[in-house]
Amino acid sequence: MATTTLNSVTKIPKMELSSSSGPVSMPVIGFGTAANNNDGATLISAVLESIELGYRHFDTASAYESEQALGEAIAEALRLGLVPSRDHLFITTKLWPSEAHAHLVLPSLQKSLRTLQLEYLDLYLIHWPITVIPGKREFPFDKQDLMPMDFKSVWAAMEECQRLGFTKSIGVEMNPVWQQKLTEFCKANGIIVTLSPLWEPKGVVGGHQRCYGQ
């Protein structure tokens, strides 16, 4: 691991997300943990190195199978004093389409929290605005796996997670709505749009409270 000092840590700018629980400050650059090779030891080392370099925003998902390693890295960073407390980090994870059923939203979030060894998230995203049959983890999905999504009840369950204090913010990622039209809607309604151009490193992904990822 490279040696860094406090003075060499990069200060990443932040933006403010609106939230029913109060403003939430989010670093505009995050460290993604999706990878084809789920090597926990490598991820832990990478997260610790990134924290030393100034990263505070970490993005994961139940589908990435990286929540456990990220949680272990966070615990180690706190033990080493790389960050003063959990509150100095911004952690995002996501609801997989097979769990995008109203009765599965809260249990899915609670499972992610246990895996991450955290008491709360800073941001919880609907990974895709689609629903598939419960238990379907493999991707891509087959047509017969798709189910009608009850957007209203799923979103209400997301709001309940926020109300209970398990996540500070909620949002939707991978929204298929035509980009320009959706961007204009977000701008008109004061909704912040985020983007990660270097995902895995092919493709793009992102998201945050009350908006979409691309």
Q: Which residues are catalytic?
A: 64
Strand partners, 95: 126
Rounded-to-integer distance, Cα 157 and Cα 58, Å: 23
Concatenated DSSP letters of 59-122: E--GGGT-HHHHHHHHHHHHHHTSSSSGGG-EEEEEE-GGG-SHHHHHHHHHHHHHHHT-S-EE
Which one-letter amino acid corresponds to residue 198?
Answer: L
What is the C-alpha R_g of the chain? 17
